[in-house]
Structure 1
Amino acid sequence: MKIRLPELEIPEDAGFSRDFDMFERKAYGVRLLDIIQRADDNLVIGLDAAWGEGKSTFISMWSGHLRQNDVPLVVYDAFTNDYQESAFIALASCVYDAIPEKETERREEFLSKATSLGKILLRSSARIATRAALGVAIDDSAFESASVESEGAALVDQLIASKIAGAQQEKEERAAFRAALSELAGSGNDGSKLVFVIDELDRCRPAFALEIIECVKHFFAVPGVSFVLVMNRTQVEESVRCTYGQGIDAHTYLQKFVNLWTALPSKGNGVLSGAQLYMRNCLGRMGFEVQTQEQNVVVEQFDQLIGHYRMTLREIEKALTNFAIVSNAINSRMYSHYYILTVFLAVLKVVRPGVYADLAKELLDYKSLSERAGLVSLVDEYWSREEGCYLRFLLCGYLGTDAQRESLSDFSSLMEFRRSENPVANIIKWMETLEYT
């Protein structure tokens, strides 16, 4: 079994292929494109979903759908490129790269307008940096010298005068750039709007994320261009507070830059949730084949815990890696109770890392583990005993007091609890041999 879930490599033109669209989000993607193309105005749409809910996978499929329909498209990964200093240059470069090389005149025209505006913006940034440096270099005592005070005042005067004089030029260059971008967007034969997707805004540097969002509004939001900003909205709102202070209304601030908000739909098949379907898909990609009843127990136990803890897709991936470490370490067929305990510990390490750490240090008995791990409410409707489910029965047997074990005496499985070895401790030992990040 593979330790790490293999990357899901989606071809650029695959679209919503059944091989990849396990959550059946094609209909949602089609509606999203229809909204963009039918709107009379240029839209900035915020696509909101929590970490690990499949935002980037959806965007890869949706981008392929747009390519299949010959919709002009630009995709920018903010996280991969957050080392860049200028959001304007970064976004303008994406647009330039998207212009076909054979369209030499259009490429040169756009590059000229982008360069002119970029120079002004960079000069403005340089002036701000100079002012900051001036403030650091000259303290109150330094101004006791009349010459220093005079030179400092003169420099500030020059900066202000330059900014005022350059304001009109910046306005003109910005208008020229926006006109060039709008003309470029409308150059298609079928009149399709240019769709600009910016992914991973919640993972890049907070200041860079906000610079991109602000840059979109001030320079790139023109007729013929619509934006889809992909993010965890809660995290980006935290970036707003981090940049502008905790007192700012981050929710309202983002509203100034985004016209419409949408969220990824969750999808199941009527029996299984989307997360449970994803778990099965991941097990298959990692090479875990369900060929025995014991192996089927793995799927069933993951199903139960995924629903109980409301695990995200990213949490499921990490839990499966923990499970794979133990499965490979044992390198032999496990009994069903070992599988059940391994799945539980693999999940616990992800969703309750503090509880798992204390359990690894042998600081928890069955009662305290049940309370802290939220197992008290974990119930199997087909389990009639007071433990609530087979997992809790096993944990009671291995971690419970003598009195609690005695209550299990009418079960033939008691023989497992009399063994000198503690499978909980053994599984934790195997899981700790390798930690994948």
Structure 2
Amino acid sequence: MRLKTRPVEVDPASIYENDRLRRKEYVDNLTVLLSNVEAPLVLSINAPWGAGKTTFLKMLHANLAAQKTHAVYFSAWETDFAVDPLLAFLGEMNAFLSSQLHDNFSKRAWEKAKSAGGKILKRIVPVAVKVGTAGAIDLDQMLEDEASTLAEALSSDLVEGYVKNKELIDVFKESIRKLLDGAEDGEGLGRLCIFVDELDRCRPTYAIELLERIKHLLDIPGLIFVLALDKAQLAHSVKAVYGADFDAAGYLKRFIDIEYGLPEPDLDIFVDYLFECNGFEAYFRSTGAQDLQRDGQSLLSSMQLLAKSQRLSLRSIEQLFTRLKLLIISTPTSQQFHPDITLYLIYLKEFDRLAYEGFVVGGFEAQRSIDLITKVFSSGYESSEMVHQYIHAEILSAQSNKDPEWVRLQIADLKREQSEGTEIRKYYAGRVIQLYEYHQGVRSRVRIQPLIRRVEMLENFQV
């Protein structure tokens, strides 16, 4: 089983083959928008971590390319080793345009843009170094005339640097404009969509510099930037640079023209997607053991029910899957995993410590863990009754060695309900008793100490 989620592949020849979150409609709508909207434009696709932004962006990029719109995709996070985001932009553009430019005019325009961009980069670093050095010098220890000479030299460099950079920026922007518009002996590229992924994962200074480069250097007719980001996370990056009291939201609005909130997927679909792409389905199927395969289906149902009942964020769901993966990987296949009660205890440990501690202590203290089953896994959803029955029976099985008298009283109450309760309660009680008896078998017994040790082991990991 993979500990890290494998990225979803997007095949340009079959764009929606792996569209497990059913985002085709949204991709198609944005494709039409980006094909017709007036440029320049900066569009942000905003969604929390783990919501499938990268897959969405890759499908949108592939769909635009299929419509003959020029489109470049690159990951900001994979390029934040660069000294300046402009360097990464020039590199990615060069790789794309090398196969796209066929006429001499367009090639000359791009070479001129690259040259101007390179000179801008060359001028940025030396001036920054000189200014930084001046800040490190103890001027009190210098002679007055030496300090005056240094200040004059720095001032001259900064003024000259500003003038030269302004000229170079004008040349750069004009060359890009010609590349897009075309003239003389060739046709331009027309509009160019540049997809920037994972901006919120970059180091804060790089993310901010990239936004500033897009706004000040690349605000050119014909250029469209599509940024995939978690706005809340990016706001934290802005505050990390400018201070906790800085208006990060207002700052980001200066760079982004339109925000598009990526709709959250149906939670059943999202859980099913994570179950498959994280290797759970393959793992339970590969064991060949019927009990473990049944555990896999049970875990999927329980996770879907928990996500809907507690309205878990996509991030919380993915973190729960990661915790379960750690436990499954560290559990020998010769041992029963008992996914329903394991998931329940992981949840209780984080959100209702009193109920979790009661389960650990056992006996009458474990009653709260039974009482909360229907609250944690709400009724009314498909499979909810099945999940309730499984967890109830597994709690009784786990406690049977710790406090057999308490469990005997619980079973007696269930038998009374089975004979005297409503039809619904009769069926429920009968199923819990049946499942409890099954779990009292040698192989299927829920052993409380190994179960608790596995759940407690998670405290040693930061997810």
- Shorter-chain-normalised TM-score: which range? 0.7 to 0.9
| Alignment counterpart, residue 225 of structure 1, candidates 218, 223, 226 | 223
Deviation of 1:398 (Å): 3.8
Between the aligned partners of 2:12 and 2:103, the Cα distance in structure 1 is: 25
Bigger RCO (CA 8 Å, 6+ sep): 1
1:305 equivalent in structure 2: 306
2:39 equivalent in structure 1: 41
| Alignment counterpart, residue 206 of structure 1, candidates 172, 190, 204 | 204
Q: Is the 8 A contact 1:23 1:267 kept in 2?
A: yes
Change (3 A) 1:84 1:124: closer
| 1:124 partnered with 2:124 | yes
1:57 equivalent in structure 2: 55
Secondary structure (helix, strand or coil) at the match of 1:409 reads helix
Between the aligned partners of 1:294 and 1:165, the Cα distance in structure 2 is: 71
Please tell me the residue identity of whatever aligns with 1:63.
Answer: H
| 1:168 partnered with 2:163 | yes
How do residues 14-25 of structure 1 correspond to structure 2 at under 5 angstroms? 14=13, 16-17=15-16, 19-25=17-23
Q: Is the 8 A contact 1:214 1:257 kept in 2?
A: yes
Q: Is the 8 A contact 1:131 1:156 kept in 2?
A: no
With 180-189 and 373-382 compared, the bigger mean Cα shift is at 373-382
1:408 equivalent in structure 2: 410
Q: Is the 8 A contact 1:355 1:369 kept in 2?
A: no
Please tell me the residue identity of whatever aligns with 2:306.
Answer: L
> Which of the pair is proportionally richer in helix?
2
**TM-superposition CA deviations, 1:104-154 (whole Å, max 9, x none):** 8444542333333433444234223322222222154x14xxx2x322222
Between the aligned partners of 2:38 and 2:228, the Cα distance in structure 1 is: 22
2:93 equivalent in structure 1: 95
Change (3 A) 1:435 1:167: closer
Secondary structure (helix, strand or coil) at the match of 1:342 reads helix
Secondary structure (helix, strand or coil) at the match of 2:225 reads strand
Q: Which has the larger radius of gyration?
A: 2
2:137 equivalent in structure 1: 137
Secondary structure (helix, strand or coil) at the match of 2:237 reads helix
Secondary structure (helix, strand or coil) at the match of 1:157 reads helix
Aligned residues: 419
1:288 equivalent in structure 2: 284
| Alignment counterpart, residue 258 of structure 1, candidates 256, 259, 271 | 256
User: Gaps (5+ residues) in structure 2?
Assistant: 415-432
Between the aligned partners of 1:28 and 1:384, the Cα distance in structure 2 is: 31
**TM-superposition CA deviations, 1:349-389 (whole Å, max 9, x none):** 8xx39969x87x95896478789x9985433349999x976
Please tell me the residue identity of whatever aligns with 2:12.
Answer: D
Deviation of 1:304 (Å): 1.5
1:425 equivalent in structure 2: 449
Q: Is the 8 A contact 2:82 2:88 kept in 1?
A: yes
1:274 equivalent in structure 2: 269
Change (3 A) 1:234 1:126: same
With 113-122 and 243-252 compared, the bigger mean Cα shift is at 113-122
1:114 equivalent in structure 2: 114
2:238 equivalent in structure 1: 240
Change (3 A) 1:267 1:379: closer
Between the aligned partners of 1:404 and 1:44, the Cα distance in structure 2 is: 64
Secondary structure (helix, strand or coil) at the match of 2:74 reads strand
**TM-superposition CA deviations, 1:130-185 (whole Å, max 9, x none):** 22222222154x14xxx2x3222222212222322343332221111112112223
2:424 equivalent in structure 1: none
Deviation of 1:428 (Å): 4.8
Change (3 A) 1:327 1:301: same
Between the aligned partners of 2:11 and 2:441, the Cα distance in structure 1 is: 57
Please tell me the residue identity of whatever aligns with 1:286.
Answer: A
Between the aligned partners of 1:286 and 1:266, the Cα distance in structure 2 is: 26
Secondary structure (helix, strand or coil) at the match of 1:198 reads strand
Please tell me the residue identity of whatever aligns with 2:270.
Answer: A
Q: Is the 8 A contact 1:96 1:111 kept in 2?
A: no
Q: Is the 8 A contact 2:44 2:258 kept in 1?
A: yes
User: Gaps (5+ residues) in structure 1?
Assistant: none
Secondary structure (helix, strand or coil) at the match of 1:47 reads strand
Deviation of 1:346 (Å): 6.1
| Alignment counterpart, residue 27 of structure 1, candidates 12, 25, 46 | 25
Change (3 A) 1:15 1:183: farther
How do residues 333-372 of structure 1 correspond to structure 2 at under 5 angstroms? 334=336, 338-345=338-345, 352=350, 366=366
| Alignment counterpart, residue 150 of structure 1, candidates 145, 152, 155 | 145
Secondary structure (helix, strand or coil) at the match of 2:224 reads strand
Secondary structure (helix, strand or coil) at the match of 2:379 reads coil
Between the aligned partners of 1:55 and 1:370, the Cα distance in structure 2 is: 39
Change (3 A) 1:214 1:275: same
Q: CA RMSD in A?
A: 4.1
Please tell me the residue identity of whatever aligns with 2:93.
Answer: V
1:184 equivalent in structure 2: 179
